[in-house]
Amino acid sequence: MSKKLKVGVIGATGMVGQRFVTLLANHPWFEVTVVAASKHSAGKTYAEAVKGRWKMGDTPIPNGVKGLTVLDAEDVDKVASQVDFIFSAVHMDKDAIRKLEDEYAKHETPVVSNNSAHRWTPDVPMVVPEINPDHTAIIKYQRERLGTKRGFVAVKPNCSIQSYTPAIAAWQQFEPTQVLACTYQAISGAGKTLEGAPEIQGNVIPYIPGEEKKSEDEPLKIFGHIDDQKKAIVKADAPVITSQCLRVPVLYGHTVATFINFKQHPTKDDLIKALEDYSGEPQRLNLPSAPEQFIQYLTDEFRPQVRYDVNFEHGMGISIGRLRPDKIFDWKFVGLSHNTARGAAGGAIEFAELLKKQGYIQAK
């Protein structure tokens, strides 16, 4: 590409917003030209706005955004006039987020959102690019509803489901019927660091508000289909998923213990081969953020581990291990995904790359 698309990040001062600006620092297709946040941060330089609360560890604030003046994310006219599309990582109540993201769309500015507010809007695609890239076709109906020509909202799914949903996708041929998923989720999923979360030190918290419903329902929208008569994405009936979600004292990485039943009777070799062979549109299109190997299977009984595997494929790959028969379910396994790379900003950036390739995001 001879000219990069101009990108705005709204909610740029929070942990996911910070991850967006670091991952986009040297992106071959996109350039961050606008950072926006709350009225409290507006008017400061980005470096000033995140001073004392930069959460990316040793990764420095990118030079390209350090001196940008933070805009008010709710000043839609001003932000939208300066960018081709936006990433949304704002921290507001869901009704306010839905209203704000729709306003950007109505200003003919596509929104790729990390937020959950629009995930169950029937004509908003919720996409893991390797699994359901065809769901972007729903955008034409959303544009009809919004009265837009180029504006729309698209979302990425919950971070924790990335650690087991890719395996279920790889095993669709074996007709999964029931899934039990117990997630052990990093503190960065709450927008915190270990130092900033004394409540997690030496502790496990057995409840994450709203998380279990997302874990049980969102994969079914991903596995669903577009109903052209309803102009909506209709969720799949199977598999039935039940979950428990725990917060653990880990900075990055959501681990999951998963149990699964199938209609068919795959062998262990069948299941491993399906994992290792699985790829999708991002790999075929060679998208800049796409992992070369989407899913790796680890034969070491002590893997996957956050310490060794969370950054597989720069945090965009999924690690699976400990696949073995179960006494109640057919099979069980352990999965791991990076919650702010694949599970948040990185997944949204890969989704935006897919939307660009499909022609939904273009220069204004």
Token pair belonging to 41:
């941060």
**Catalytic: 245?**
no
Strands (E), 51-149: 71-72, 85-88, 111-113
Query: Which residues, at least 6 apart from 136, have a Cβ–Cβ distance to it below 8 Å?
Result: 125, 127, 154, 354, 355, 358, 360
Token pair belonging to 164:
């087991």
Coil, strand or helix at 241 = strand
Sign of dihedral through CA atoms 55, 94, 103, 108? positive
Coil, strand or helix at 335 = strand
Catalytic residue among 118, 135, 245, 254: 254
Catalytic residue among 159, 225, 245, 265: 159
Coil, strand or helix at 13 = coil
Residues 77 and 149: their CA atoms lie apart, in Å, by 17
Residues 312 and 285: their CA atoms lie apart, in Å, by 20
Backbone angles phi, psi at 265, to 5 degrees: -130, 70
Give yes or no for a contact between 114 and 121, defined as CB atoms under 8 angstroms apart: no
End-to-end CA distance of the chain: 15
Residues 123 and 234: their CA atoms lie apart, in Å, by 10
| Strand partners for 260 | 179, 331
Residues 11 and 72: their CA atoms lie apart, in Å, by 9
CA-closest candidate to residue 157, choices 123, 189, 114:
114
Residues 203 and 280: their CA atoms lie apart, in Å, by 38
Give yes or no for a contact between 136 and 360, defined as CB atoms under 8 angstroms apart: yes
**Catalytic: 91?**
no
Catalytic residue positions, numbered: 159, 254
